[in-house]
Structure 1
């Protein structure tokens, strides 16, 4: 399975339910709660936030694999999982 398949599945889920897409990428935390509130305020703000979180996650994931991940934090992203591109750092030297 290529890397594009999981991203495509998450995007399709996000189109239907933005908070579920954020939950899958960021976990249950501040980003998820913010997305629920934005989705309740309007479907479009929820989508914008969800796709931004997913973009940051997949971009940082690709950069981490290349070894090009910088220490700069993405603005308005509170999940460490998203900030690190899913890399928790355990088992590394």
Structure 2
């Protein structure tokens, strides 16, 4: 089980990303538009830099929904390999059978 503070930090980051997503895309569109004057693009760059760092989607990290584990994460199921094995053993994932010999 991951530390609760780390899981909460990721939740906080996700909220910031959702909150600032529209603003960030608008500023990036201005920055990448070559037809705009250089001063306007520079101002947009400065505004983008003033936004919180954690509002960038790049700073998000995938974590298991059940345990919060950051490593060995299956994107399709949103769980770690350990949680996947436990759920498979309990028969909670359709079509998954844990092999044993």
Q: Which has the greater radius of gyration?
A: 2
Larger helix percent: 1
Q: How high is the TM-score relative to the length of structure 1?
A: 0.29
Q: How high is the TM-score relative to the length of structure 2?
A: 0.27
